[in-house]
Structure 1
Amino acid sequence: MLTRRKPSLPPDAAAFYATRRGALTADLLADQALPLFPNPMGRRVLGLGFAAPILERWPQVENARWAGTARFDTQITRAPAIGSDGPWRRRDCVTGSNALPFDDLSLDIVVMMHGLELSSQTALLRATWKAMTDDGHLVLIVPNRSGIWAHRDSTPFGYGSPFSSSQLDTLLARGLFRTEYATGALWLPPPALRLSRSAARTMDRVAGLCGRIVAGRALAGVHVVIARKNLYAGLPPLQAEARAAPIPRQVVETSPS
C-alpha cells in the first residue's frame, strides 16, 4: 500500500538538480512545459517553491521587466541554489507559504514548482492570487497522483501530496483560479534518467505522444497547468429580484352625511 511521505522538500533538492540526473529532469520538463509559458516580455516573473531549474532554461525570461525566485521556509537546503553565481541567487528570497512578501497585484507570471504539494495548498493559492495582477498567469508544475514519479523518492517529485487532474482543478477553483490549459510532462520513469541526454529526450517525446493518445495525461509524471485568476469567484451569487409583495387593496369608505 502506498503511503504519503512527509510534506517537506528533501534537503538535497538543490544538489539533485546540480547532478546529471537532475539536469536531465529539468531538460525533460523544459521540453514539454516551456512552449506553453506566457510571453514574459516587459512583465514581472516570480519562480515560487523551487523553480530556478526551469526558469534558467527559459531564454525569453531575460526579456522580463523583473524576474526572481522565492523559496518557502521549509525548503532551506544545504546545497547552494541553482545558478548560485547568477541572477537567481541575487534575486532569491525565503518566505512563508501563506504570506508572500510581495505587494498586491504586483506579479504578472508566477511559476510554481515544488511548492503546491509541499504547503498549505489553499492558503498558498490565495496568497498567490492576491500578489498576481488581474490578467496574470499561474504556471503550476506538480506531481501526478497516477504517475510513477510521485511514488519514487529518488527525485523531489516523490515528496508531498500529488494530485489527480480533477483534484487539481478543484483545488484551483477553491483558490479562485480557473484552469486555462493543462498537459503532462516527464513521461519516462525515473530510472530512464540513466540514458544519454539525446536518447532520453527523444524517448520522452515519443512516450508523451503515445501516452496522451492512450490515457490523456494520466500517465505523465507531472501536471503542467496554466491558470488564470477567476475574478468573479469570490463574489456572492446574484440574487433574483424579489417579487413585489401583494398589498391588499384598501378603500376608504365614507359614511353618508
Structure 2
Amino acid sequence: MQNAMPREECFYGTPPGRVCVSLLGERMRWFWPELKNQSVLGLGGAVPYLHALGDASTLRIGASFGGVQGDMVLQPGPCCVVDPASLPFEAQRFDRIVLVHALQGRENPLTVLRSAARALKDDGRLLMVVPSRLGGRARLRRTPFARDASFTRPKLRQLLAAAMLRAEQWDEAVFLPASQACRTLRRGRRMDIAGKVLCPGGGSLILVEAVPEMYSALSLPVQHKKGWLARMRMPSAGMAGAPRAGKTP
C-alpha cells in the first residue's frame, strides 16, 4: 500500500497540501482579519499562504531564499529570490511580514529575523509558523515543515527578543499527524478544535505574532553592589588625593 502523503517537493500542489494551506490560512486571518491597503511580505516558503491574507487592495510580495520550495508559481503577483541576511527592501517598508519555511537548514535563525525586523514598520506585525519541538516534525513527515527548525515557546520568545521583537499572540495547529489532519478541511478543523480543548500546547505547529520592541535586546549597565565593609571605609588623611583638614583645594 502506498503512502497517501505526497513528496515534500510537490506537497502544496496536492489536495493534502491545499488543505494545509486552507487550515493555516484560517489561523492567519484570525491574527489579521483586516489588511485593506496594507503591504504584506511573505518570506521563505510563505508564498502559498499569501492568498489567504488581505483583499484586492493588499500588496502581497513573496520572497524565497533560493533553495526553498518551488511553490512560488502558486502565487500570482510580485515574487523574488533574496538573500536572507540582506533583504533588498528599504527599512520599515511592510505593514505585515509572514515567515513560513524561513528557517530551513539555517543554524542561525537570528539572521533571518533581524533582516525581517528591519523591513517591518514601527507599528507593523510579524507572524511566524514553526514546528513544535514536542514531536511536531515527526507528525509533519513528508511535508516541508519536517525540514524546518523546531522550537518551544520559551525558545521562540528568546529568539524574537534577540531580534528586537516581542511575542504578543500565540496559536497552534495540526494536533494529529498530517496524513490524518490534512485529508479534508472539515476534518482538519474538527481535529484542531478538539486538540485545543483536550490537549492545549500539543499542536504540531506553533504560530506566533510579534511586534517591534526596540529595547528588548539592549542590555542595561550592571552596577556592582559594594559590601558593607567597603561602604564603611573612609579615606584617611595620609591617602593621596584626600583633602587635609583646614585647607581648601
TM-score, normalising length: structure 1: 0.77
Corresponding pairs, count: 227
Give the superposition deviation at 1:186.
1.6
Point out the structure with max Rg over C-alpha. Answer: 2
Q: 1:118 to 1:56 in 2, by over 3 A?
A: farther
Q: Flag structure 2 segments of 5+ consecutive residues without an equivalent.
A: 1-6, 224-234, 236-241
Q: Flag structure 1 segments of 5+ consecutive residues without an equivalent.
A: 1-10, 241-245
Distance 1:175 1:54 in 2: 24
The partner residue of 2:74 within 63, 82, 94 is 82
The answer to whether 1:125 aligns with 2:120 is no
Give the superposition deviation at 1:97.
1.4
- Aligned to 1:81, the other structure's residue is in SS state helix
- 5 Å matches for 1:164-243? 164-193=152-181, 195-212=183-200, 217=201, 219-237=202-220
Distance 1:125 1:196 in 2: 33
* Alignment correspondent of 1:134: 122
* Alignment correspondent of 1:62: 56
Name which of structure 1's ranges 182-191 and 147-156 shifts more when overlaid on structure 2.
147-156
Give the superposition deviation at 1:174.
1.3
Distance 2:55 2:244 in 1: 72
The one-letter amino acid of 1:107's match is F
* Alignment correspondent of 2:98: 111
Q: 1:138 to 1:61 in 2, by over 3 A?
A: farther
* Alignment correspondent of 2:64: 71
Give the superposition deviation at 1:239.
7.3
8 Å contact kept, 1:40–1:61: yes
- Aligned to 1:116, the other structure's residue is in SS state coil
Moved over 4 A (4+): none
Q: 1:194 to 1:115 in 2, by over 3 A?
A: closer
Name which of structure 1's ranges 181-190 and 193-202 shifts more when overlaid on structure 2.
193-202
The answer to whether 1:101 aligns with 2:84 is no
Distance 1:192 1:51 in 2: 23
Q: 1:80 to 1:135 in 2, by over 3 A?
A: closer
TM-score, normalising length: structure 2: 0.80
- Aligned to 2:199, the other structure's residue is in SS state helix
The one-letter amino acid of 1:26's match is V
Deviations 1:15-63 (A, max 9, x none): 21110010011122123332112642232210111112222122x2433
Q: 1:103 to 1:190 in 2, by over 3 A?
A: same
8 Å contact kept, 2:170–2:208: yes
8 Å contact kept, 1:134–1:231: no
**Percentage of identical aligned residues:** 27
Distance 1:249 1:44 in 2: 71
Give the superposition deviation at 1:145.
0.9
